[in-house]
Amino acid sequence: MKTTIFFNNKNHEIDLSLPRDISIPLRATNDNPKAWYVDAPKIAPVETDHWIGKVSEGGSVNFNDIHFNPHGHGTHTECLGHITKEAHSINKALNRYFFFAELITVAPEKDGDDYVISRKQLQYLLGQKKREAVIIRTMPNFSDKLNRQYSNTNPPYLMEEAAAFIKDRNIQHLLIDLPSVDKEKDDGKLLAHRAFWDMGGQMRHNATITELIYVPNDIIDGTYFLNIQVAPFENDAAPSRPVLYEIIK
């Protein structure tokens, strides 16, 4: 099913029947990706003295409780409420769901004991392109990102200057295949988060960060029509499913 969209003063076609989901599904197993020192998610049937919510064990329906952490267990989208004293909800911050996005692939650079994404790298890869969203795929890009255990591994992260560059380019939505845009252990500074949301200036209430995505290698770098689907939780973050559509012409 093809549809026409207007972008860069031209009409373009996308095929809605060919979505590319770049989220990681939540699984109640130990090979579900984990970060921030949390245990595996739990999905278990409700049980009472006389009933169980599991058809295979005699229940009339499957009726599960789900225990998970959106930041630690898979693809999630967060708003500035992640780092503010005041409560801000992703359900209110994200009020549009389709965007023109640029997918770029970055090999983080060694910086002491860390691997980082710099402003210079983003400037080179984005050039003068004006996009509403940027999707960052890091190298190496193996499928073990679907079940990687990130706690205490010091994953790569964005330098503060790189996050400020994204903000300065008025890119509203940042998506990345890492557990955080910031260093795992940074004494709570959260420099990239703060720079992206412009916490020292005009706070960007409708800007979002999506972390722990996975972009397969057969999706080439370039411009895509992006749909960010977010579960309607009144919370700073919620599980999400970003979906890419190729722009045909």
The CATH number assigned to the domain holding 87 equals 3.50.30.50
Mean pLDDT of 185-201: 97
Closest CA to 135 of 8, 11, 23, 12: 23
Residue 234 forms part of a structural domain: yes
Mean pLDDT of 168-172: 97
Residues 6+ apart with CB under 8 A from 112: none
Q: How far is CA 38 from CA 24, 34, 71, 154, in A?
A: 17, 7, 10, 16
Residue 37 forms part of a structural domain: no
Residue 187 forms part of a structural domain: yes
Residue 68 forms part of a structural domain: no
Residue 218 lies in domain: 2-24+74-246
pLDDT at 5 over 90: no
Beta bridge pairs of residue 10: 7
Residue 151 forms part of a structural domain: yes
Residue 82 forms part of a structural domain: yes
Residue 13 forms part of a structural domain: yes
Q: Of 4-13, 37-46, 55-64, give the lowest mean pLDDT range.
A: 4-13
**What's the pLDDT at 10?**
80
Both tokens of residue 233?
């939780």
**What's the pLDDT at 145?**
98
pLDDT digits (tens, 9 = 90+) for 112-157: 999 999 999 999 999 999 999 999 999 999 999 999 999 999 999 9
Count up the domains in the chain and report the number: 1
Residue 99 forms part of a structural domain: yes
pLDDT band at 248; cut points 50, 70, 90: confident
3-state SS, residue 125: helix
